[in-house]
């Protein structure tokens, strides 16, 4: 196990609602990335946080936002949910050791928007 946990494991929301997904990574992993994995697709990069600030974003609208906290936990918030937001959401914590980067993924949160 990588020590990266996510909650909840799955949830159901309706269109227009808001959702908060949570991720907890290991101590010292100060970079966290969030990915969206739609059914039958590979993960798509949403954004990355480093030392509590967003420092990179993929092709996702502003209603996808995040937070990172000093205790190495983070949140993904999605406002005004749409049906296409139904997906598996993955967080990944990143460490750099000896010039080699490794990303460790959590088990994911499966979101269904009705």
Partner 1 sequence: AQRVTQPEKLLSVFKGAPVELKCNYSYSGSPELFWYVQYSRQRLQLLLRHISRESIKGFTADLNKGETSFHLKKPFAQEEDSAMYYCALLRSGGYNKLIFGAGTRLAVHP
User: CA-CA distance, 54 to 60, in Å (whole number)?
Assistant: 13
Q: Which CB, 13 or 94, lies closer to partner 1?
A: 94
Q: Is 30 in the site for partner 1 (CB under 8 A)?
A: no
Q: How far is the CB of 18 from partner 1 (least distance, A)?
A: 25
Residue 79 in contact with partner 1, rule: CB under 8 A: no
* SS3 readout for 85-106: HCEEEEEEEEEEECCEEEEEEC
- Other CB atoms within 10 A of residue 85 CB: 20
Report the residue from 30, 65, 73, 103 that binds partner 1 according to the rule CB under 8 A. 103
Cβ neighbours, 10 Å, residue 107: 15
CA torsion 60→75→105→95, rounded to 10°? Answer: 100
Q: Which is nearer to partner 1, 6 or 78 (CB)?
A: 6
Question: Considering only 13-21, 41-49, 59-67, 77-85, which stretch makes contact with partner 1 by CB under 8 A?
Answer: 41-49
Q: Which residues bind partner 1 (CB under 8 A)?
A: 2, 4, 33, 35, 40-45, 48, 50, 55-56, 58, 90, 92, 94, 100-108
């Amino acid at each position: 196990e990588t020590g990266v946990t996510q909650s909840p494991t799955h949830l159901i929301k309706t269109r227009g609602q808001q959702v908060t997904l949570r991720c907890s990574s290991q101590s010292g992993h100060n970079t966290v990335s969030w990915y969206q994995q739609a059914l039958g697709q590979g993960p798509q990069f949403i954004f990355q946080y480093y030392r509590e600030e967003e420092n990179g974003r993929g092709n996702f609208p502003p209603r996808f936002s995040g937070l990172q906290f000093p205790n190495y936990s983070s949140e993904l918030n999605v406002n005004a949910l749409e049906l296409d937001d139904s997906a598996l959401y993955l967080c990944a914590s990143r460490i750099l050791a000896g010039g080699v980067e490794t990303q460790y993924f959590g088990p994911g949160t499966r979101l269904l928007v009705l």
